[in-house]
Amino acid sequence: MARLIDQFERLPGIGPRTAQRLALHLLRQPEEQIRSFADALLAARSQVGQCQRCFHLSAEPLCEICRNAERGNGQLCVVADSRDLLAMERTREFKGHYHVLGGLISPMDGIGPELLQVQPLVRRVDAEGISEVILALTPSVEGDTTSLYLARLLKPFTTVSRIAYGLPVGSELEYADEVTLARAFEGRRQVE
Ligand SMILES: [Zn+2]
């Protein structure tokens, strides 16, 4: 029991009480249910990898969004991770393709651009004839640093804008409600 609770507590956003509640709930389920839960976890771990083009989570070489030809509208939305991509998708505001960086530039943590999917981004902007890159990065020191870096790098090739409006400084995209995020997207400004 303690082992199970401990496993739940390792999950993001799960405190000791919730972990206990989940463990107790699971123990009341039929064995069949537990088995399919465990199978789903293992299958997800072994089958889900990264999309070769945008680096979003995907079980196929190309993710569902990259495979969707209707979304090739010349716009490319750059996000830090798959959670932020999913947050953008929930707004239903963006109809183009994405590029997942795999983090943000953070000199304090020793994370430079070479550790992120920056070079593939530059190649895509060129190869896919991208007309606008929309930076959807958190309004934080790391988000600002990364946005400025990418804007400088990409501006010779395309228009670069950044979502801004309505998002409080330091807020995580993932937790922004859909309306706020949709407005932030609409109110994007070209990076000078
Ligand atoms: Zn993809």
pLDDT one digit per residue (tens) for the chain, 192 residues: 899 999 999 998 899 999 999 999 999 999 999 999 999 999 988 999 999 999 999 999 999 999 998 998 899 999 999 999 999 999 888 999 999 999 999 999 999 999 999 999 999 999 999 999 999 998 888 999 999 999 999 999 999 999 975 666 666 777 777 878 888 888 888 887
Q: Which of 123, 125, 103 is nearest to 115 (CA)?
A: 103
- Measured in Å, residue 85 CA sits from the centre of ligand 1 at 11
Whether the model clears a pTM of 0.85, i.e. scores above it, the answer is: no
Tell me, in angstroms, the distance from the centre of ligand 1 to residue 60's CA: 9
- Residue 14 CA to ligand 1 center (angstroms) comes to 29
Distance CA 17, CA 164 (A): 36
All domains in the chain, ordered by first residue: 2-47 (1.10.8.420), 69-190 (3.40.1360.10)
